[in-house]
């Protein structure tokens, strides 16, 4: 969530959780195109940004994260009891014109226990993904 100092229990919706990224995207000129990288729950954050600003995103990189599709509401891939599950169950699905029009790359971490490899691969099979990469031996915290 960037430099936003709010604690998670002070944030009620996924859109509010995504607000620092949305504000950043609003500040980028229309002539710039960026690469967004989402990890863990952050896949939904970058999906919101891709939906709202598809012309500003060259590619969305999903690093062992939740990757929504354009056929179902975002809550479709969320476990019961997950953060923002109730909020995401009433949010409209992502569009083909926004989120669905941006190139996506998925990076699989095959030792992830939070988002198991078979679930990561299921999301890939159910999405239009331009490229798939794998970090063998990596768990959920690929950056470490």
Higher pLDDT, 127 or 4: 127
pLDDT in tens, 71-111: 876 656 655 445 565 655 556 788 999 999 999 999 999 99
Q: H or E stretch including 125?
A: helix 117-125
**For residue 71, what pLDDT is reported?**
86
Q: b/e string for 26-39 if b means 16 or more Cβ within 10 A?
A: eeeeeeeeeebbbb
Q: What is the pTM of this model?
A: 0.86
Domain 8-135: give its CATH code.
Answer: 3.40.50.1820
Mean pLDDT is lowest, of 15-19, 36-40, 122-126, for 15-19
Q: Could you report the per-residue pLDDT of 106-121, keeping only the tens digit for each?
A: 999 999 999 999 999 9
3-state class (DSSP) for residue 42: helix
pLDDT at position 84? 62
Active-site positions?
40, 112, 140
Which tokens hold the place of 108?
């699989």
Nearest Cα neighbor of 39 from 67, 8, 12, 11 is 67
24 vs 88, higher pLDDT: 24
Angstrom distance (rounded) from CA 83 to CA 63: 19
- The domain ranges of the chain are 8-135
- Reduce the secondary structure of 45-111 to three states and give it as a string: HHHHHHHHCHHHEEEEEEEEECCCCCCCCHHHHCCCCCCCHHHHCCCCCCCCCCHHHCCEEEEEECC
Residue 32 in this model has a pLDDT that exceeds 60: yes
């Amino acid at each position: 969530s960037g430099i936003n100092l709010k604690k998670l229990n002070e944030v009620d919706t996924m859109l509010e959780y995504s607000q620092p990224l949305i504000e950043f995207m609003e500040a980028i000129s229309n002539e710039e195109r960026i690469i967004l990288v989402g990890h863990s729950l952050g896949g939904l954050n970058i999906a919101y940004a891709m939906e709202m600003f598809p012309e500003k995103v060259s590619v969305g990189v999903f690093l062992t994260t939740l990757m929504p599709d354009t056929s179902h509401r975002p809550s479709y891939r969320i476990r019961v009891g997950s953060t923002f599950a109730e909020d995401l169950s009433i949010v409209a699905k992502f569009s083909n014109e926004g989120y669905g029009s941006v190139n996506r790359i998925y990076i699989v971490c095959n030792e992830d226990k939070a988002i198991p490899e078979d679930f990561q691969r299921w999301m890939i099979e159910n999405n239009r993904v331009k490229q798939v990469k794998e970090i063998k031996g990596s768990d959920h915290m690929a950056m470490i």
